[in-house]
Amino acid sequence: MSLLTLDHLSLSRNDTPVLRDISLSIEPGECVGLLGPNGAGKSTLMRAALGLVPASGQSSLARLRAADRAARVAWLPQAREIAWPVSVAHLVSLGAMARGRAEDHPSVAAAMARMGLETYRDRVATALSGGEQARVLLARALAQDTPLLMADEPVAGLDPAQQIRSMRVLRALADEGRGIVVSLHDLGLAARHCTRLLVLHRGALVADGPPETVLTPDLLAGVFDIIAHRADTPEGPSFQPLATVSQ
């Protein structure tokens, strides 16, 4: 059964279309990279799919009751907000709480271990560096222990090693049978770690398929406005943007 089904999802703001007639479904075992230039509608698509912003069309998750939805999907917003000086262990346990589970549910310890946070338990979350906070917040989403995880630019601002580690965690979750939807700006990271890529351009879904068939020079020029050098390494493809197509 699909973890998420979108049926003709559209959304306009002040008569400007932000999402145009998007239909797709996400299956267990898929690590889906959501790509597109700034303003293409990546965040809005995920938030509309979750029912956090009203949109026309159908989303299988948006019509669920809030508590039921929290059992089906975990959401990691782009804004890394931690309002109060709580401990790392407590912050991660909020994921279990969203499912009505106890603070010491095994999913909490598992999420901490997966993100390498065992020694951070009693640290104050607000006193951590930005990169450490990003890991803690991803652990919080993992602790929700849902079949589907949607993450909005979870690796933005992380150092290269942490970017790779975070993507490995997401891919491992997909390989274990969960579904992942992750928006990214690094094309190489997306191509190497995702099983499927979706490309948004001005609110429309313009490509959907395995990384090999999606990231063509024509698409990079037409959607991203770049000419990029592609190198194939033993780890997978890498893309180095060299120039813009337009001025």
Comparison of 146 and 163: residue with beta carbon closer to another protein: 146
Q: Does 238 bind another protein (CB under 8 A)?
A: no
Nearest to 81 by CA among 126, 135, 144, 44: 126
Q: At what angle do helices 88-98 and 130-143 cross, to 10 degrees?
A: 30
**Residues in the chain, total:** 247
Instruction: Count each helix (H run) and each strand (E run) in the chain, helices first.
Output: 9, 11
Contact pick of 58, 126, 213, 216 for another protein (by CB under 8 A): 126
How many whole angstroms separate alpha carbon 193 and alpha carbon 9? 27
Comparison of 70 and 197: residue with beta carbon closer to another protein: 70
Contact pick of 5, 25, 87, 162 for another protein (by CB under 8 A): 87
| Local structure of 16: helix, strand or coil | strand
Q: Count the site residues for another protein by CB under 8 A.
A: 31
Q: Does 173 bind another protein (CB under 8 A)?
A: no
Q: Does 74 bind another protein (CB under 8 A)?
A: yes
Q: How many CB atoms lie within 10 A of CB 164?
A: 16
Q: Does 81 bind another protein (CB under 8 A)?
A: yes
Q: Does 137 bind another protein (CB under 8 A)?
A: yes
Q: Does 94 bind another protein (CB under 8 A)?
A: yes
Stretch touching another protein by CB under 8 A, among 29-37, 82-90, 156-164, 179-187: 82-90
Nearest to 152 by CA among 215, 208, 216, 74: 74
Comparison of 138 and 200: residue with beta carbon closer to another protein: 138
